[in-house]
Structures are given as structure tokens and as C-alpha cells.
A and B are shown apart, each in its own frame.
Chain A
Amino acid sequence: MKQILIQDTNGNLRKELRDFHVALTTQLRDWGLADAAQVVTVADIGIYQKGIVAKVLPEGFVYVGLEVKHVPEIIEKTIQHGEKIASLAFEKKNKQLRLVLRNCGRIDPENFNDYVANDGYQGLVKALEMGPERVIEEMKKSGLRGRGGAGFPTWMKWNITRAVPGEVKYIICNGDEGDPGAYMDRSVLEGDPNSVIEGLMIGGLAIGASQGVFYIRAEYPLAIERIQKAINECYARGLLGQNILGSNFNFDIEIRLGAGAFVCGEETALISSVEGLRGYPRPRPPFPSVRGLWEKPTAINNVETLATVPYILFHGGEAFGKIGIEGSTGTKVFALTGKVRNSGLVEVPMGITLREVVFDIGGGVLNNRAIKAIQTGGPSGGVIPEQFFDTPIGYESLQKLGSIMGSGGMIVLDENDCMVDISKFYLGFCVDESCGKCAPCRIGGTQMLAILKRISDGKGVDDDLKKLNEIAMAMQKASLCGLGQTAPNPVLSTLKYFEAEYKAHVVDKKCASGKCVKLVSYSIIKDKCTGCGMCGRVCPAIAITGSRADKYSINTEKCVSCGQCFDVCKFGAVVRQ
């Protein structure tokens, strides 16, 4: 028996959907096929803005843009004969390209042989044959840039570290993924630990280090467990230790744990933390490439970068360099979250547009609301409004828009999100995580946050926006490390694109989205109220009273502006001002 799944359109095309459903069931009966196919309405098939969508099982054909007139054809061809109707079929173009996540979800991460069977450690074998100079040459051809955020060319980092004289050198894998809203590093560490280890070994070979360190957040216990297990397997098989694979390359790896400090993602702070100290950043220069861990030359690479390295060595730098666009080659993993329909990790070639990522892969905005902006780069990044969604993704192109690539958080904001609230959230995060060593970050951040709080409380003054800009500028110029230098970015970019919204808060004392609770008030329109009492039941402050006959009303003195009555009212009787 076949099943025909029809996607519920959530209120749109209601009549068309009903007509189609009725036509399908009645005609199936007329054809005497009522028992041959079951018609089911399902919540979601995953295709949107294509009219009525149906899926036929077990074949898995997906038809879009359906109308009543298509019913006979579907019954005859597909239900009776199991044929696909090409003119109705929806062919999903796969816009993702999985290089970093090539093994995630496909192999058993705890099974060493699974990784080896999927070209595992072949990149290392090639690297050993090629020798350090040619490995760096290959990396140069690939054009790979650091995936941790700043986008420094990986080959250059390795080349500089290699050129610094010294017997002892270190290479560190930065797995201190602290950006709220990004989790690609965790996925790779947990899903394909050996690829990161292989990348670290190749990096070690290239710079002439015989000691590698994994610095991983303690909050990721499974990642730690799997990396440790993979390291043990490597030792047992002679892939780590002395004379690896019969060569004269020696390499050891140990794990060090982070302990919940965002600033430790900054490379000099990370080094302090590995040394067992407070995670304070140090002035640069000297850069870690010259004087890093225990004062020795040190290369620090991000998890995603290292996971890409074996792929580049195995398939060649040139092949990798052809993916993506000039200046930003290869692929990038994004954590697509927020108000998007399909949230999750996506890996796309550079040069794809933001619109394609959010709408074609992500399926658009949740609940069909209007999109307001996309936030990239986490607390160091900025927002990008809709008019720029057709920009191809690359390090420079995002920077031009006032945001950054960052570690790959991509958060969709809809019309219900308040920009003042968003920048307050990100800045609050940075103030919380500021280590306090340098004054611009410690004091500047706190002052900016105080101004933002004032604005969202309705006590903003005319001067505030100018002041925000001034302090931001000082922080960018004078802070010691990346945290302080980039902390004002979310504020600056929201100010740049959504100044009117700030002004509405400061001058009119209004928050259109209702997020700034002190600026909104709720009331109930008597004529629309049906007296159902739902609002009264959810009110945590017991501010809503009434009855079915008298209707309900809000006592503004008791009201805490939580907005729960607004959300729960089905009749539009609760209004926000």
C-alpha cells in the first residue's frame, strides 16, 4: 500500500489544500484504489513556498505546486504504475558541500578502522613523503585561511613558525569554542576526532614541532573522551610517538582542558591557560609564532582548519583552491540557528549567498514571519540586514558589511527581535567574559552596557548614540586583545543599519518588537475579547481579572509586561503599545 503525504500549509492556501485533499480521496475511491493508497496530512515535508506539496511513499517522489487538475495523472501514473511525473517532481539541489564534515555522521567516530577506510591518515602519508616545505607549498596553493574567525592564511602561519629558529616548537589545536551559537568544532571533535588529530600531525610536521596540544573546553566531555580515545589508538598503532610510519618524524599529543573562559579562545590567553595560569592575553608582538607556549615558537590552529588539512593534502591544494571564490577558498561550516525553520550545521562552498543559506538550505524564517537580519560572527560580529542578503560569503565581503565570518555562527533574526536588545545581549556577554586586564575593554564595555540598559529602559538621552560610537571607537583602538577590540561590533553594526530603531527607543520611548519590557504596555480591547479567560490563566502577576460576561481587563499597576497574555490570545484582543 502506498502513502500520499500532503504537507499542511499552516493556514495558507486553505481552500486549495482542502479541495486537493477531497479530490484525491474521492477520485481514489472512484478508481477503486481507496485501499491501495492512504492519504495523510503531515505537518512538514521540508519544502516551502512551492504551493501544495505532497510526497508519495514508498517511492519517495516529491511533487510540488499541486492543483486539483493533477489528481487523475497522479493516480494513474504514480499510484497505479509507480511512475514519476517529471513535470511535477521537485528535485532538490544540494547546495551544501561537505569537506570538513565529510565523515561526521557517516563513520563510527570511536572506530579507528572506519576512519582509515575513508582515506584516513592518507594525508599524513603524503605529507611525510613530501616533507615540510612542500606541505606548506601545498597549503599555499589551497589558499586555506584560519576558520577560527580572523582568517589568517594557514600556510603563512606555518611558514613563519617554521622559519623561527629553535629546537622545540609547539602546535596547539584551539578547541575552546566559546562563541554562543556556534558548535561546529564540537561536532567535528565528536564526530570525526581522527581528522583533527591528523591535521595537527601534519601541522606539526610542517612547522617542525614534535609536541601537539589539544585545548578543549571542559564543557565538551564527549569531545574530550573521543579525542583521548583516538590518541590512544594512534599510540597503539605507532601513528604517534617515535619514527611515525617508518620516517624520522616524532610527535606526541596531550590534552589540556579549558575551564569556561571565553577569552581563552584568544591565542595568547589560550597559551596562558595551557601554562596553568589565569587566561590573560599578552601584548603582541611577539606573536606566538615567535614566542608562544613556554616561550617557544607556537602555531595555534582552529579545529575546523585542522580538519580541512588532511583533505587538502590528500586531494591536492589546487583542487581545494578551485572551490569557493578568490581570496576565500574552500568551504565553511555555519551553525544556522535562531528563527530559521531548519536549524543545524551546514557546510557550504565560499561564495554562496546568505540568501541561499538561509532560504534554500534553511527553509526560511520560522512561522512565516518577516526576516529582519542575519547575525554572523557571534559577539565579535555584526548584523546584516536584508538588502545585503545577495552578497557572496567571504572573509572580505562580510567585513565590508560591518560583520565578520567569525567561527561560523549564523543567527536569523525576525521582526519580533529588537536590535537594542540583541546588542545588549552580545555586549553583556563580552562584559561578562572580559578578563579585566586592560582598561578600554573593562571600563568601556561596562559603560556601553550601562547606556544600552538605559536606552532599553526608556531613559535614553539624545547624547547616548553619539557616546556609544565614541566609546566603541576607543575600545576598538586601545584594547589589548581581540575580545575588547571586537566587543563593540554588534553595537556598531546595529547602529549602522537600525539607527531608526535606536531613535525610537531614545526619542519616542517605543520598542516595536515588545522586547524591552519597560517600554511596552498591554491592554485588552473589550469588543474583541470573547471572555475565554486564557490571558487570566497565564498571567504570572495575577493582573488580569474578569469573567465571561464582563470580559477581561489588565490592571496596569500589577502588570509586569511579560507579554504572555499577548502570545496566548487567539482573538487579537490583547494589544501591545
Chain B
Amino acid sequence: MVVETLVEDVFKVVERWKDKRGNLIMVLHDVQDRYGYVPREAALEVSRQLDVPLARIYEVLTFYNYFKLTPPGKFNISVCLGTACYLKGAPALIDEIRHLLHVEEGQTTKDGLFHLQIVRCLGCCGLAPVITVKHKVYSAVKRGDVAKIIAEHSSQKVEA
């Protein structure tokens, strides 16, 4: 990935945080907000500008689940696997998505459209089982609904 504004982007982020102690995680959050993931080029630039070894940056990036090192799909399907969702049938939903999209957890479909992510508790257990696709929350999802949800988003692509 090459972004022309990379150096400036990172500069802006670093400028905001450079006087705070223990700022690395916050800087990486801002970088991920900007690009959707943390590209290696950006990590290198952060290393240069913050004067932190690259190894330290990857130490943090690889520890925390939230940071992504590869570009996300256009639509991120997050299936909640918190306890309530688990009991109410989330594993069957994951099976169904795997079956329909031919992706495993953490993978993106070949057309780059859907990314399957399994998350631990979205904090709306009353609605279990829950799937979110690009910030849209689907509650009390049944196995049969999965195809509909996917179709809803793949048709959006055609319109766009």
C-alpha cells in the first residue's frame, strides 16, 4: 500500500500525542482509524517519527486483537461469540457463513468484499445471537437469515 500523504498523516497523529507518556497504543489507534488497519509502511513511519524501535511497535500490534495488520474487507461481518450468543446458536451462524462465503475466521473473500471476524461480546447480550455488518446490528439471527444478510450487502455493491 502506498499513500502519498502517509508521512503527513503520521505526523499529524504524532504531533497530537508526542508530549504524552505511554502514547504508543493511542498513536496506533489513530493510524488504524485512518487506514482501517496498520500498514507496514505506516508502522515504519511511526517508528521513525516517534523514535521507537519497529520491534516495540510490532510487539504491541501483535499482542492486541483489535489491531489489524492486513486490509479489512469492504464489509466486515462480525459474529459475536460471547456466552449468550454462543448458547443461543452463534456457532451455527459461523458455520453458515463459512459455508456460504468459503472463508475461515479472520479471512477475506477473494473479491475482497466480506471479511469474517469472530468477536468476544459486543455488549448487547439481550439481542443474542448478534451479527454486525459494517456497524449495522442484526439481532436474534437465525441460521436461515444469514444468506439474506449477506445478499443485502452484496447487492449494495452492485448499486454502487
Contacts and interface: CB of A to CB of B under 8 A. Distances in A.
Interface of A: 177-183, 186, 218-220, 254, 256-262, 273-279, 294, 335, 337-339, 343-345, 375, 378, 409, 411, 413, 417, 425-426, 429, 435, 540, 562, 564
B84 A177 contact: no
B144 to A, nearest CB: 8
A294 B21 contact: yes
Contacts of B24: 276-277
A429 B126 CA distance: 20
B63 A278 contact: yes
B143 A261 contact: no
B84 A411 contact: yes
Contacts of A279: 63-64
Given A180-B121, A259-B25, A337 B60 contact: no
Nearest to B29: A257
A337 B125 contact: yes
A183 B59 CA distance: 29
A375 B83 contact: yes
Contacts of A294: 21-22
Given A181-B121, A274-B22, A275-B21, A411 B87 contact: yes
B59 A417 contact: no
Given A219-B66, A279-B64, A338-B84, A177 B123 contact: yes
B11 interface: no
B22 A181 contact: no
A220 B28 CA distance: 17
Contacts of A345: 126
A243 B81 CA distance: 47
A94 B92 CA distance: 37
Given A183-B124, A218-B29, A275 B66 contact: no
Contacts of A218: 29, 66
Contacts of A411: 83-84, 87
A177 B82 CA distance: 12
21 contacts: A181-B125, A218-B66, A219-B66, A220-B123, A256-B26, A258-B64, A260-B66, A261-B65, A276-B21, A277-B24, A337-B83, A337-B125, A337-B126, A338-B84, A338-B88, A339-B88, A343-B84, A411-B87, A425-B83, A426-B83, A435-B63
B42 interface: no
Contacts of A540: 95, 99
A258 B64 CA distance: 9
Interface residues of B, number: 36
Contact of B63 (A180, A261, A274, A375): A261
Interface in B78-95: 81-84, 86-88, 92, 95
Contacts of B95: 540, 562
Contacts of A435: 63
Given A259-B65, A260-B64, A181 B21 contact: no
A275 B119 contact: no
Contacts of B29: 218, 257, 259
B82 A180 contact: yes
Closest 10 pairs between A and B when the two form their complex, measured CB to CB = A259-B64, A260-B65, A180-B82, A260-B66, A276-B22, A183-B123, A181-B83, A276-B24, A337-B84, A180-B121
Nearest to A345: B126
A338 B128 CA distance: 8
Contact of B25 (A276, A338, A413): A276
Contacts of B26: 256-257, 276
A440 B69 CA distance: 30
B67 interface: yes
A569 to B, nearest CB: 16
Contact of A343 (B67, B126, B143): B126
B23 interface: yes
B16 interface: no
Given A261-B63, A338-B83, A339-B87, A178 B120 contact: yes
A75 B6 CA distance: 76
A219 B122 contact: yes
Nearest to A335: B125
B127 to A, nearest CB: 9
A543 to B, nearest CB: 15
Contact of A344 (B122, B123, B126): B126
A540 B84 CA distance: 25
A279 B60 CA distance: 9
Interface string B120-140: 111111101000000000000
Given A180-B81, A278-B59, A343 B99 contact: no
Given A339-B87, A378-B83, A411-B83, 19 more contacts: A181-B84, A183-B125, A219-B123, A220-B123, A256-B22, A256-B25, A256-B26, A259-B29, A260-B65, A262-B120, A273-B25, A276-B21, A276-B22, A276-B23, A277-B24, A278-B60, A279-B64, A294-B22, A343-B84
Contacts of A274: 22
A339 B125 CA distance: 11
A97 B154 CA distance: 46
Contact of B123 (A186, A413, A426, A429): A186
B120 A429 contact: yes
A186 to B, nearest CB: 5
A426 B84 CA distance: 12
Interface in B24-80: 24-26, 28-29, 59-60, 63-67
B14 to A, nearest CB: 13
A180 B120 contact: yes
